[in-house]
Every structure is written in structure tokens, then in C-alpha cells.
């Protein structure tokens, strides 16, 4: 299970230990050819607008790429993509 916590213009994406990776340096999904090249898996990713995180649930056959597109006072807009491992 993945949780989202919202702070002042920052979103914390939380999940089980070592299930989330921050895709530092990637600006779009096409920049990520291998989701596991990003080191330091964690239980959370602190995201600002434009950041991409990779969720890899334990014992799953897929990974989820999630990008924070926009935040307003009432809404959060994400873009996401599911890939086979």
C-alpha cells in the first residue's frame, strides 16, 4: 500500500521498505530506460512539482512511474505509467 502526505508544496509518497526510488535527474518517463538503475530504494520519496518516483511493490511483476505535475490548494495532479519489470 502506498500513502500520500501533503505538506506545503511538497508531497511525500510513502510505501513499504525499499519499494520507492526517486528518479533524480529524469524529466520525463522516456528518460527512464531501466527503473532499477536509480539507487537508494527507500520507504518514501519527497516530491516537488516535476519530480518522478518509481514504485516497485514487493513480489510484483510491474513498477509504477509517477510524476507530480501540478499542485494547487485543492488538487494534486499526477501522471503515471505502469511497466513490466
What pLDDT is attached to residue 72? Answer: 86
Q: What are 25's three cell numbers?
A: 535527474
What pLDDT is attached to residue 68? Answer: 97
What pLDDT is attached to residue 74? Answer: 87
Distance CA 18, CA 50 (A): 22
Average pLDDT over residues 7-29: 91
Q: Does pLDDT of 47 surpass 80?
A: yes
**Most confident range, picked from 2-6, 7-11, 31-35:** 31-35
Q: What are 20's three cell numbers?
A: 520507492
Q: Does pLDDT of 1 surpass 80?
A: no
User: Around Cβ 47, how many Cβ atoms within 10 Å?
Assistant: 21
What's this model's pTM, rounded to 2 decimal places?
Answer: 0.89
Amino acid at each position: 500500500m502506498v500513502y500520500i502526505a501533503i505538506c506545503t508544496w511538497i508531497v511525500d509518497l510513502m510505501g513499504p521498505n525499499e519499494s520507492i526510488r526517486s528518479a533524480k535527474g529524469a524529466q520525463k518517463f522516456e528518460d527512464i530506460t531501466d527503473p532499477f538503475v536509480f539507487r537508494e530504494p527507500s520507504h518514501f520519496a519527497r516530491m516537488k512539482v516535476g519530480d518522478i518516483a518509481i514504485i516497485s511493490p514487493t513480489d510484483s511483476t510491474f513498477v509504477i512511474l509517477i510524476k507530480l505535475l501540478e499542485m494547487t490548494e485543492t488538487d494534486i495532479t499526477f501522471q503515471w505509467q505502469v511497466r513490466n519489470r
